[in-house]
Amino acid sequence: MNYLEPLLNQNLRDFVQMWYGPPTSPNAALNPSPAPRELVEWHHISTQWDGIITSQNYAIPLSEVSTRKGEVPFWVESQGSRVWAFDPTGRSHFVYERDPSSQRNPWTPTGESLSTFLIHATAIEAIFGAPAMKVAQGIDTDWIFSQAHELPFPSWSWPTLDSRVFASEKWLALAHASDSEGKSDLMLAATTPEHLTWVQNTPSIKWRSYVTPQQSMAPEAPPW
């Protein structure tokens, strides 16, 4: 397993197959849709894996994707606290986000094209829905960089500010700034607990473990 390679190459299908295994419904098909090609392809992949590639947030069904006030909402945070939309003009379909709790909240740019956002979001969904997790807080940020490769995605403001994704050959990680300067909170995720046993060699870090028996079940929420 090498989760880093398909994420660096932005090969969504290869990453999904590497993380979740073969498609459970390989012959599943979608109805024709006028949505951008990359969004239709994401939904096709999701259908072939029977929807298990989202565990925290969710994609708006293609049949409900439509332009609203100049943007096209397509991705929603599980509690409705954030919505992502793409610009229907231009070939890259750049993605914007907003807090929908007030009509006055503006759309702000994420810095990602639609195709980049979809693989970034899918990696984050894999982390939150992973069968095995380890979480630690207040870790030296330099230590994280020494353990994994930061993926070339813009940082997200969800689930907290400056959230970044890292990857190694056998696990993924989500990091964001801690309350202490120069420190980060970290969530490690893997498809099996054995891929995270190496953290036993870091006795100075206090890890909390979260394990779920089935990949489709969301683990207990991390402490942040």
Domain 130-211 belongs in CATH node 3.30.310: yes
Question: pLDDT digits over 111-163, tens only?
Answer: 999 999 999 999 999 999 999 999 999 999 889 999 999 999 999 999 999 99
- The residues spanned by each domain of the chain are 4-122, 130-211
Is the pTM above the cut of 0.85? yes
Question: pLDDT digits over 86-105, tens only?
Answer: 999 989 999 999 999 998 99
Answer whether 99's CB lies under 8 Å from 107's CB.
no
Which residue's structure tokens are 């708006």? 60
Answer whether 20's CB lies under 8 Å from 53's CB.
yes
CB neighbour class for 90 (10 Å; exposed up to 12, middle 13-18, buried from 19): exposed
State the pairing for strand pair 208-211/183-190. Answer: unpaired
Question: pLDDT digits over 31-63, tens only?
Answer: 999 999 999 999 999 999 999 999 999 999 999
- Tokens standing for 33? 């849709």
Q: What is residue 50's predicted lDDT score, i.e. its pLDDT?
A: 97
Long-range CB contacts for residues 204-213, cutoff 8 Å, separation at least 24: 205/136, 205/139, 206/136, 206/137, 207/134, 207/135, 207/136, 208/134, 208/135, 208/136, 209/132, 209/133, 209/134, 210/132, 210/133, 210/134, 210/135, 211/131, 211/132, 211/133, 212/130, 212/131, 212/132, 213/131
Q: What is residue 103's predicted lDDT score, i.e. its pLDDT?
A: 87
Cα–Cα distance for residue pair 86/81, rounded to 1 Å: 17
Preceding omega of 36 cis (within 30 degrees of 0):
no
